[in-house]
Amino acid sequence: MGLIWAVIRQRCPRCRKGPVSQGLMTTREQCPVCGLVYRRDYGYFVGAMYAAYFFSFASTLYWLPMLFLGVNPWLVVALPTIQLIIQVPITFRYARVIWLHLDHRFDPEALPHAAGTEMLG
């Protein structure tokens, strides 16, 4: 499975088979297939906030021209707000998956294994 497809399907950065999420807003502790521990340390996913912020900001930029075109200010506030309320759970999950994949790409051996599991070659 390719890297992009693994991110889209929200799969483990090492084996690209195990799911990262469990439920709507819960990240698994480890990969059920290869045993990769997803949380390296307390606050590990703080970096994922940068990805979430970028996606949220970029996806609501359409409101900026609306300000200059004379659209009702309440509409300019309401549209991005409604969009973000719907988008937050999706952004939350994908930001964590992207953070895991970036971290694994730059420092693959730093992510710990679960006890009793071996690295996949």
Distance separating alpha carbons of residues 72 and 56, to the nearest angstrom: 22
Q: Could you tell me the end-to-end alpha-carbon distance of the chain, in angstroms, rounded to an integer?
A: 16
pLDDT of the chain, 121 residues: tens digit per residue: 688 888 889 999 999 999 998 877 788 888 999 888 887 778 888 888 888 888 888 888 888 888 788 888 888 888 888 988 888 888 888 898 998 988 888 877 665 555 554 444 4
Query: For residue 120, what pLDDT is reported?
Result: 46
Query: For residue 121, what pLDDT is reported?
Result: 41
Query: Where exactly are the structural domains of the chain?
Result: 3-106
Query: For residue 23, what pLDDT is reported?
Result: 79
| Residue 119 CB-half CA count within 13 A | 6
Full-model pTM: 0.73
Query: For residue 33, what pLDDT is reported?
Result: 92
81 neighbors 87 (Cβ within 8 angstroms) = no
| Three-state secondary structure call for residue 70 | coil
Residue 72 Cα distances to 1, 19, 80, 81, angstroms: 47, 43, 13, 15
